[in-house]
Structures are given as structure tokens and as C-alpha cells.
């Protein structure tokens, strides 16, 4: 007996994967040090669990750039990795809907806060920080 056929994750019942994802620009992870330095010269907002930096890119408006960083002040490697995992997850949840294409965002972990604050609070803080950086929507 074979199992019933199900649609893959991210597709609707008709099997069209592009319809579910077409409205969200893709997230591209920043890896170059120069991208982080340019973002540091842009706008920033500090929240309880992280600092969010944003820089508008004029060269490419098709994707959202996202970078994550935690200094040694956050803790040992285990603590830094835990903090970065949480930052990656909140960015994956919030930025496709509320981030703007053509912008780079950098999330910076905070000492003993990023890993300990409740996850729902981090998500709400990221949404609030994006609202502050983008200004009122028209």
C-alpha cells in the first residue's frame, strides 16, 4: 500500500510553488566584511535583545540582504551560536513580509539578552524595529 500524495511544503493545493513565494523577495546572507561596515554607517535602532542596522542599496533592488553578528561579549562559542540561531530564525520569519527589497539588514546580538529573552518578544521587537527604521507607511 502506498502513502497518499501530498503537496510539497511551500506550495498550494494546485502545486504552484511560485504563487506562495512570489510576493516575498529572497533573503541573501551577507558574508563580506565591507557589507557589514557599510550597514554600520546606515540607520540603526537598539532593542532589548539586539541591535538592528539598515542600509538602502541603490545597486540592486531584487533581494533583501541580511547579516548576523555576535561579539565575544555575548559569551563563549556556544552562547554566540545560540544567539545567532535565534536571530536567524526571527529574520526568516519577519523580514520576507516586512523587510524592503534593496536594503541590507544586520542583526547584532546583545550580551545575555539575545539568548534569554522569550522568542515571541524577539519577534515583536524585530517588527517594531523595522517599523521605526522604515518610518510610517504611506
- Confidence (pLDDT) at 62: 84
- Per the prediction, the chain carries an average pLDDT of 85
69-119 pLDDT, tens digit each: 999 999 999 999 999 999 999 999 999 999 888 899 999 999 989 989 999
pLDDT for residue 123? 95
* List of domains in the chain: 25-134 (3.30.230.10)
Name the band, by pLDDT with cuts 50, 70 and 90, for residue 136.
Answer: confident
CA distances from 33 to 47, 65, 137 (A): 23, 13, 31
Separation between Cα atoms, residue 63 and residue 58, nearest integer Å:
12
pLDDT digits over 19-28, tens only? 444 578 888 8
Q: Is the pLDDT of residue 67 over 90?
A: yes
Cβ neighbours around 58 below 10 Å, total: 6
Amino acid at each position: 500500500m502506498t502513502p497518499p500524495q501530498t503537496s510539497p511544503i511551500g506550495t498550494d493545493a494546485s502545486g504552484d510553488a511560485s504563487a506562495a513565494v512570489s510576493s516575498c523577495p529572497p533573503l541573501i546572507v551577507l558574508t563580506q566584511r565591507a557589507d557589514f561596515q557599510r550597514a554600520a554607517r546606515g540607520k540603526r535602532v537598539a532593542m532589548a535583545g539586539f541591535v538592528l542596522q539598515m542600509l538602502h542599496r541603490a545597486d540592486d533592488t531584487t533581494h533583501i540582504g541580511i547579516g548576523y553578528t555576535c561579539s565575544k561579549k555575548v559569551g563563549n562559542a556556544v552562547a554566540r551560536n545560540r544567539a545567532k540561531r535565534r536571530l536567524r530564525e526571527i529574520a526568516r520569519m519577519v523580514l520576507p513580509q516586512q523587510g524592503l527589497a534593496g536594503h541590507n539588514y544586520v542583526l547584532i546580538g546583545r550580551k545575555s539578552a539575545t539568548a534569554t529573552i522569550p522568542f515571541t518578544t524577539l519577534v515583536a521587537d524585530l517588527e517594531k524595529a523595522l517599523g521605526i527604521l522604515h518610518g510610517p507607511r504611506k
